[in-house]
């Protein structure tokens, strides 16, 4: 098993990455287990934030690192909350507060289209000159009523018309097959295989 530091302490993300990477013989270690503090995320794009987080985790651990920066972009709100998704309701906001702010912001909008974005970056070391970078999207709509007990973040309000379910109503294995994070990880694995 190859050790890989995950530049996140988000329990939902840690669980998803551990499940998705287990078949590829990676031992995913959340940075918090190594005493690594979260990196600053000052950038305007998902890719730049993910790269900063990956380099920070690798520098602190001396191990290869994987980081994602992900969020939801509402089409009627010019892509908001975007890179601010986790802190949309403020620094001390939680998933419930973030979701309520988004629902309120969309209250008078006819266009409820949205997409999740996942930017994944993997570095072999802090100064890796060729980081692996993948960015994917998962399209759906924002609904006003939460449904489902799985997932985290905006999942209970992210409706998938083709499945007639929210992301939180999907079985975790099904979600991992079609989600933005699952798509990104498969692309990343393909890139890893092509480098081997």
Residues assigned a catalytic role: 69
Burial class (CB in 10 A: 0-12, 13-18, 19+), 69: buried
Which residue reads 């999740």 in tokens?
116
146-177 burial, b at 16+ Cβ within 10 Å, e below that, comes to eebebbebbbbbbbbeeeebbbbbbeeeebbe
**Residue 71 φ then ψ, to 5°:** 180, -175
User: Residues near 115 by Cβ (< 8 Å), separated by ≥ 6?
Assistant: 72, 73, 75, 137, 138, 139, 140, 180
- Distance from C-alpha of 109 to C-alpha of 157, rounded to nearest angstrom: 15
Which two structure tokens, joined as six digits, stand for 20?
A: 């998705």
Alpha carbon 161 to chain centroid distance?
21
Cα three-residue angle 58-196-180, rounded to 5 degrees:
65
């Amino acid at each position: 098993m190859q050790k890989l530091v995950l530049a996140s302490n988000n329990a939902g993300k840690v669980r998803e990455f551990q499940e998705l990477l287990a078949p590829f013989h990676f031992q995913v270690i959340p940075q918090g287990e190594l005493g690594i503090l979260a990196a600053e995320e000052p950038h305007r794009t998902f890719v730049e934030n993910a790269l900063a987080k990956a380099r920070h985790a690798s520098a602190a651990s001396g191990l290869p690192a994987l980081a994602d920066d992900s969020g939801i972009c509402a089409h009627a709100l010019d892509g908001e909350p975007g890179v601010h998704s986790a802190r949309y309701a403020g620094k001390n906001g939680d998933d419930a507060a973030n979701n309520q702010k988004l629902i309120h912001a969309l209250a008078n909008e006819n266009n409820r289209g949205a997409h999740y974005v996942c930017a994944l970056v993997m570095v072999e070391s802090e100064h890796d000159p060729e980081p692996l970078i993948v960015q994917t999207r998962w399209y759906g709509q924002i609904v006003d009523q939460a449904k489902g007990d799985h997932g985290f973040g905006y999942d209970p309000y992210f409706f998938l018309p083709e499945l007639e379910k929210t992301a939180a109503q999907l079985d975790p294995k099904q979600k991992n097959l079609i989600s933005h994070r699952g798509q990104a990880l498969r692309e990343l694995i393909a890139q890893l295989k092509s480098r081997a």
